[in-house]
Chain A
């Protein structure tokens, strides 16, 4: 059964925690809700569970409008961020609770309830702790009890609010794997909230990126990482740097230097790139000074302050957007736009091989192998043209945003 969220809005007072959110969750899917704190993830989950009523819009379970269903009737398994286990009940009673409150004619006999609760505890791999109380369990064990409790009523949809939020990195990782395996075995339609992007990318079939009460992008992890639909997603998923740039006569100009031809309309843009999409080269188009260098996995990450005034291959008719650098005077007669100045002096991050890492203070030249262009900040958020990609599976209604690619 699919779950459709159709233009849902949720206001608390005059504040919209969810703003025109639409999303379809397919049967049997494992979906992650990812977003910064306060972006409305919990609110969306609670609206789905019927714990909050949407101010506008509808939710459909299959073709049934959820507005007609109470919390009790929705048959949803909800795992709360802090588990909300019943303290005065044993682990077994907690898990059995959902069955024991069934209407009498559907309620299984007592022994059957206990047996099913035990089977669930075995399923989440904490058998043997039946008679303990929640206070006597570790965080990871509580997590599993909460999950078993939510599964007891055989829910149509499983909703997990930051299921691993309160656990340490090691346990998180174990439970993550376990949840993926569990989902593959049981096939419950599952939505989980996280603000850990690694967790979302590793675990989910599809990831919903939320920002300020809106869905920014819905995509599988690969698409999300490689082809972010908005500057927000680009900056939120993975590491990235951004620079003010200009398109002029079909070429991309950054810090007074031409990077290459781009199929985009002339005007100011914002250039995004990932640290590993930069390449040191003697003939590199961008020039900068290394201001910091640190180990990052098997690479070194450099902070590079761009220097627009160093010699370059750029034609002498440099575009008028050249922003000033902290180290030097403005390259062109035109003053940089106020919005660009701080970003231009902020160092960008690039990754280099450890054996080739230049020392701090060195001047380097590099190219950006995969720049992505978005409209300059003041403009609307929708990325500018370039090769529409069919099937990117973007959720927000309206024209599909797409992102710009330019070869460096």
Chain B
């Protein structure tokens, strides 16, 4: 429950001076003491927790050799799995960006009976072991499930198909968008909306021209978090995906399969591919955000 909140605080859009050109130097002069020790600890900690394991991953994957790595990367099954994983995660993050924003808006802006309960429900995807969520979703969307049966009658198959993966990822990704946007929506100045209205803007114009742009940075962060989570998700997906190679097999499952074959180098190699793509995606999102922030603060 606290995890996404913490992330939010760090990622909140902060209209103040961002890391603009003035601060490009290695270290800006600052009145806040303790830069040295805190940076040292930060680097040490990040190294221990994140960088060293990742380095080990890369190291392990090199055992495969360049040629084998390249073959694996071009293997249609690998490509299909990567496409499934990233495609489903992107779609799910997109769905969550829209509906999560709506949920966050309703939770912040309106007072109604059961609001607190609903607020707590948003965190459930975090609290639940993902396998339990996967089994529940599979039962619900399965051919005999409450939702699966009527959907099947309409000719729509969700469980054991790529659509099932998206459903599972929407489920696990929702809290990221909601929790990221909530504090930012709460900070929207009521007077902006009133000013817009007094200038003749209709409600839809106010939302599009005033509210949405001020939510954009947090929105992008929420999207990125949901995406990252979706890419790495395993537990809830494998129960509902059907796991057909080339169709509904996700990359993390492919890794597990390689592990079960004791093919550690191949498993880590797929991991490295995922890592690179994820890193590239997050980098693009961050660059977009930085560009947006600079547009807002450094314009002259």
Contact = CB atoms under 8 A, between A and B. Distances in A.
B189 interface: yes
Interface string A295-337: 0000000000000000000000000000000000000000000
A84 interface: yes
Contact of B297 (A49, A78, A133, A153): A133
A152 B198 CA distance: 11
A88 B195 contact: no
Interface residues of A, number: 32
Q: Range of interface residues on chain B?
A: 20 to 34
A133 B296 CA distance: 7
Interface in A116-159: 131-133, 135-136, 149-150, 152-153
Interface string B190-203: 01101111111110
Interface string A39-59: 000000000011100000000
Contact of A153 (B15, B16, B200, B209): B200
A152 B195 CA distance: 13
A374 interface: no
A132 B300 contact: yes
Interface stretch (A95-103, A275-283, A347-355, A362-370): A95-103
Contacts of B189: 84
Contacts of A90: 299
A100 B209 CA distance: 10
Contact of B205 (A76, A82, A101, A136): A101
A101 B300 contact: no
A78 B195 contact: yes
Say what secondary structure dominates the interface of chain A. Answer: loop
A72 B299 contact: no
B300 A98 contact: no
Given A90-B299, A133-B297, A76 B198 contact: yes
B191 A84 contact: yes
A43 to B, nearest CB: 14
B210 interface: yes
A190 B24 CA distance: 48
17 contacts: A49-B198, A71-B194, A72-B200, A76-B198, A84-B191, A86-B192, A86-B195, A88-B296, A101-B200, A131-B300, A133-B296, A135-B15, A135-B16, A136-B297, A149-B199, A150-B198, A153-B199
Interface of A: 49-51, 71-72, 74-78, 80, 82, 84, 86-90, 97-98, 100-102, 131-133, 135-136, 149-150, 152-153
Given A84-B192, A88-B214, 9 more contacts: A50-B198, A72-B197, A78-B195, A80-B194, A97-B201, A101-B202, A101-B205, A133-B299, A150-B198
